Amino acid sequence: MKLYGGMRQVLRTFSAAMILAATAAQAQVAAPTPPMGWNPYNAFDLNYGEAELMAQAELLVASGLARLGYDHVNIDDGWWLRRARDTIEVRTGIYPSAALPDGTTSLRPFVDRLHTMGLKAGIYTDIGRNTCSQRWRPHTPNLPVGTVGQREVGTYGHHAQDAALLFVRWGFDFIKVDACGVGDYGPDVPEVKNGTFRAFPPLIVREQPARSNAAELARQYASFADAVRRAAQGRTPLVSICAWGQADVNDWARRYGQMSRTSFDIAPTWEAMLFNFDSAASRALFAGPGHWNDPDMLEVGNGAFDGEHLVAARAHMSLWAVLAAPLILGNDLRRMTPGIAAIIGNRDVIAVDQDAAGNQGVVISRAGAGEVLAKALSTTGHKAVALVNRGKASLTLAVDLADLGLSSTAPTTLRDLWSGASRRVSNGRISVELAPQETVLLKVEGRPAEDDVDQPADLPARFDVADEGYKAPDRTPARQWVLAQIGFRPDGQPLMRDGAQDHAGLGVTAGSRLRIDLAGRYDRVSLDPRTLGKATGPFTIRVDGRTLVEGVASQQPHPVVLHVRGAQQLELIAPPPASGNTQFAWHDVRFVRRATSRS
């Protein structure tokens, strides 16, 4: 193993035993691709029950949508009557099959019916004592009843009990875990003051992550996830964390759930859809098999995305697909137009979302109303590219193949996944005319810019932001501070290197630690560590747990080449915050594949 670079270098060798240990078999991954299904909330709010759910389930099967992957039918808020001893009683007025002959209630008959149809069943709870509907829908008829304690139907203090009830006794496959119970029941809430609810000191202070108790919130979700794992041994039920991007949840949620909401609830408007899209778009390094960014359920078929607005509906579907977001339908399938059915049933677009590599699309450029994202697909040199017009006027949008990490001279074809039209790329550039609110989603088939070389945008699913590093105190979901990005700094500005945006670079926070799964695929890794401020700072590079390089970075070029044949994991540890340096760059990162790994 050799190292090259103009800094103090520490050479280490690693043993064959360590390599073998690193390649030990991994546990089964839950949600290896983004979950798909249907949820009633966007279409029905809380005005639904078993009849509406089963009608939608039957349409998922009859329409063929279930065969395309939309196989989860998820109950949302409003199913419970009261907490009682070792169970939660079901509101049998809207779930009649839950009324058992012995006078008890169970959702097992509902779940069994879905399973018989070849579908999966999802349920809803809250990580706190009380729920969102109790706080924000006080006049809905489907609220829990009884004493203060009986109305505490959330899972706080009942993790093991509820996990056994929902996943063993009732057999659910999926659970959405909301967070109003730990954010909206503080001592100053009128319904707390008058004794309707018990106070819960907030773990989430909305839009103020620096004042939230992220550590305790993470501990609660970790405890519940562990209870689910223990209760459902031999199964892999999915946990959907719904803390709306608050309390830095998206920086740690991957450890405890298979999907995590990056924003507040979506609404059927163009502006709301873009806000939710933006909340996830910069977080490609936080998503991958078993842990997906969730910008919320689809609004395709509703409001500004209904059958009269098919251009916007296709844009919405395209953006969720290129993000590798969960595709959870939120429209009433009974009232779906043929145009909407064609959008949610587009096999090519679904295939982009469900691509086995598990990469989220990476933002390539933002300029005015135009935005370009590219998602690396399983086949080397193949990418899904979304060219987005966010505005209300037509525009021409272009992207160079080189910025996509593709050769500008090799034969390259593209296919529009909505129109089906195909063409060759000329002059190394893709250019499209976009109508207002239009997104063109292309499958581009070419060759990498460098043979046998991967860039970070080719493998974002292999990254893990292990240590979070510095966090801007004024960060919010609307004004993001993303701990690690490809081609951009944590503050959202383009990552520049020698006068040009570095699409192969990683902009990270000071003090962060990135882990990259090499999986024995690479011979060499090259990179150029630099500070993004005037002060110098020490950095460390480790391979398979052994320190290989300790250096001091500055704003000057400092290229490093690592020979890593057979290595399983690379760690990049940025300098700690110092003298105003809060951001750091791992510039021009390239992974050179081994001959046996080339495809």
Which residues are designated catalytic? 178, 265
> Tokens 């800094």 belong to which residue?
7
Q: Are 388 and 394 in contact (CB under 8 A)?
A: no
DSSP per position, 448-506: BSSTTEE-GGG-GGGEEEEE-----TT--SSS---SEEESB-TTSSB-EETTEE-TT-E
Q: Are 483 and 515 in contact (CB under 8 A)?
A: no
CA distances (Å), origin 330, targets 38, 67, 301, 304, 355 = 6, 18, 8, 13, 22
Which of 176, 90, 196, 76 is CA-nearest to residue 134?
Answer: 196
Which of 517, 527, 597 is CA-nearest to residue 562?
Answer: 527
SS (H, E, C) 426-438: CCCEEEEEECCCC
The alpha-carbon radius of gyration of the chain (Å, integer) is: 25
CA distances (Å), origin 9, targets 472, 514, 540, 545, 560 = 32, 20, 10, 16, 10
26: how many CB neighbours lie within 10 A of its CB?
Answer: 7
Burial class (CB in 10 A: 0-12, 13-18, 19+), 498: exposed
